[in-house]
Amino acid sequence: MALSGIDIFKMLPKTNCQECGVPTCMAFAMKLAAGQAELDACPYVTDEAKEKLEEASAPPIRPVVIGVGEKALKVGGETVLFRHEKTFINSPGIGLLITDVMDESVVDEKLKKFKEIEYERVGLYLSADILALKDTSGDAVKLIKLIEKAKGMDLTTLVLMSDSTDVMKEVVKASADLKPLIYAATAANVDEMGKIALENNCPIAIRGNNLDEIAELSTKLTDMKIKDIVIDTGARKLKQSFDDHIALRRAALVDKNRTLGFPTIVFPCEMTNDPIKEAIFASTFVPKYGGIIILSEVEGHNLFPLALQRMNIYTDPQRPMATSEGIYEINSPDENSPVLITSNFSLTYFIVSGEIESSKVPTWLLIKDTEGLSVLTAWAAGKFVADAIAPFIKKSGIEEKVSHKKIVIPGAAATISGELDEELGDWEVQIGPREGAHITPFLKNWANA
Ligand code: SF4
């Protein structure tokens, strides 16, 4: 039976040393009880307490790490069914499938794109995470060649796929230091695949034909003392795979079924030959519990929307996404360029900066920290009002960058113009458009005035 926070607290050292990253042992105990922390974070728990606590403190879906170092991918560890309950924790890894029978030039091109395609968004870098290297020829040498090629490009987070335990033995031997995910143990080979995972201390995926079979496979592996397991439900139809993911998450969280409490790997690349459908299928598993999502291509058309969707779903819903406060230069402004100000709600920033960019009018954009609130909400909360904005404008350094003293405020905040005029003294406050779509004509008129 799960222990309460108080039960767990009684077994902790009670020194409040904070090394676990929370202020007190009690706070750490509460986090453990809620499945939001890992026991390993406290270095001072006795072995005896550890044994008792491990079962009670383990998150309902085990976190599994694939790979090593900075590029290691952590999946699982989730504690809720729905994002509005609490934050989803470890975002799904986006992966690319490469097989050992692809032409070398095709492989080179795929690896190049995998490595190079990256997008910056609100200071975060969005890219693919994991390579799935698949043996289809039964020749370990070919798969080892692929591993070496990936390693040569510093791509070291890997899923190694083969149905042959002979091939798997060879390829894992050649890459065990990278802690790849071994794919996959099935009813036919679970003992041997499990042995390979155990000997090389690597995570292992299981593939079953239904959830009962998956539960049997995971029980066999956990009996072998293997903990790091990833589930492939075996479904290659969207509806079945979607249903399986829901059933798995509910079984782990609601029914506390430990045999199904593991992250998943899902293969939209094997569900369709249509690249657009594949991207749409993949997007289904971003909010609905995919752990690793394997694609046949990593291109702008699928990576950007998926990575963006992933970023949005896996942010804390209680904390609005925000852009940093400061001066943003758009289209190479000079001392005569207009100065606009808005809030640091990321969506506001993207809309306003995007409209300015497409207007091609050189512009200074001031972003005021409103704790991620949009203009109107920030105004209502007293964060986008004259006595908050005026000191920011004066201290921002914009006065040294322009030869005029005109500031354009959002049309939605027109009511603050009088007060802002007074607060700013010698600045002229102009009221800009209410809608992002009207920014371009407004700026063009401003530039021509
Ligand atoms: Fe308490 Fe351990 Fe956290 Fe220190 S690291 S505060 S002893 S739980």
Tens digits of residue pLDDT in 267-284: 999 999 999 999 999 999
Separation of alpha carbons 100 and 175, rounded Å = 16
Average pLDDT of the chain is: 93
Q: Which residue has the tokens 């959002």?
A: 410
Q: Is residue 331 classed as helix, strand or coil in its secondary structure?
A: coil
Indicate which residue's Cα is closest to atom 4 of ligand 1.
17
Pocket test for ligand 1, best of 12, 24, 26, 46 (most atoms within 8 A of CB): 12
> Whole-angstrom Cα distance, residue 438 to residue 225?
63
Q: Which residue type is seen at 282?
A: A
**Total length of the chain:** 449
Taking the centre of ligand 1 as the mean of its atom positions, its distance from the CA of residue 37, in whole angstroms, is 12
Mean pLDDT throughout 179-203? 97
Listed residue (331, 314, 302, 278) closest to 439, CA to CA? 331
Instruction: Kindly give the number of the ligand 1 atom that is closest to the alpha carbon of 24.
Output: 6
Contact 291, 265 (CB under 8 A): yes
Q: What are the strands of the beta sheet with 265-266, ordered from one edge?
A: 229-232, 204-207, 181-185, 158-161, 130-134, 93-99, 292-295, 265-266
At 58 the pLDDT is 74
Half-sphere exposure of 317 (CA within 13 A, CB side): 8
Residues whose CB falls within 8 Å of the CB of residue 106, separated by 6 or more in sequence, listed in order:
none
Is the Cβ–Cβ distance between 343 and 386 less than 8 Å? no
Pocket of ligand 1 (CB under 6 A): 12-13, 15-20, 25, 28, 42, 44
Q: Which residue out of 14, 20, 24 has the highest number of ligand 1 atoms within 8 Å of its CB and is therefore the one to mutate?
A: 20
Minimum-distance ligand 1 atom for the alpha carbon of 45: 2
Confidence of residue 212 (pLDDT cuts 50, 70, 90): very high
Q: Give me ligand 1 centre to Cα 140, in Å.
A: 47
- Helix/strand/coil (H, E, C) string of 39-96? HHHCCCCCHHHHHHHHHHHCCCCCCEEECCHHHCEEECCCCCCCCCCCCCCCCCEEEE
Gap from CA of 33 to ligand 1 centroid (Å): 15
Amino acid at 405: K
Say how many Å lie between the CA of residue 318 and the centre of ligand 1: 27
pLDDT for 37: 81
Mean pLDDT on 238-247: 98
With the most atoms of ligand 1 within 8 angstroms of its CB, the residue from 8, 10, 14, 17 to mutate is 17
- Extract the tokens encoding 51: 């044994």
Query: Taking a C-beta distance cutoff of 8 angstroms, is the pair 326, 300 a contact?
Result: no
Ligand 1 atom closest to Cα of 23? 6
Q: Which helix (H) or strand (E) covers residue 276, if one does?
A: helix 275-285
**DSSP run (H or E) holding 292:** strand 292-295
The per-residue pLDDT for 59 is: 81
Residue 120 pairs with which residues in a beta bridge? 125
Which H or E run includes 365? Answer: strand 363-368
- Amino acid sitting at position 165: T
Quote the pLDDT of residue 150.
Answer: 97
- pLDDT tier at 120, thresholds 50, 70, 90: confident
pLDDT tens string 299-356: 999 999 999 999 989 988 777 778 889 999 999 999 999 999 999 998 899 899 999 9
- Between the CA atoms of 196, 200, 203 and 205, what dihedral angle is there, to the nearest 10 degrees? -20
Instruction: Check residues 251 and 321 and name the one with the higher pLDDT.
Output: 251
Burial of 144 (0-12, 13-18, 19+ CB in 10 A): buried
pLDDT at 114: 97
What DSSP designation does 329 have? E
pLDDT above 70: residue 57: no
Q: Is the pLDDT of residue 35 over 90?
A: no
> Which contiguous run of DSSP H or E holds residue 388?
helix 386-396
What gap in Å lies between CA 323 and CA 335, rounded to an integer?
24
d(CA 275, CA 267): 13
User: How far does the centroid of ligand 1 lie from the alpha carbon of residue 3, in Å?
Assistant: 18
Nearest CA to ligand 1 atom 3: 20
Q: Which region, left, alpha or beta, applies to residue 371 given φ > 0 means left and ψ of -120 to 50 means alpha?
A: left
Quick one: pLDDT at residue 437? 92
Residue 266, classed as helix, strand or coil, is strand
Q: Which residues pair with 159 in a beta bridge?
A: 132, 181
Task: Write the Ramachandran bin of 440: left for phi over 0, alpha for psi from -120 to 50, otherwise beta.
Answer: alpha
Q: Quick one: three-class SS letters along 106-129? A: HHHHHHHHHHHCCEEECCEEECCC
Q: Are 202 and 211 in contact (CB under 8 A)?
A: no
CB-based burial label for 304 (10 Å; 0-12, 13-18, 19+): middle
Residue 77 alpha carbon to ligand 1 centre in Å:
21
Residue nearest to atom 8 of ligand 1 (CA): 25
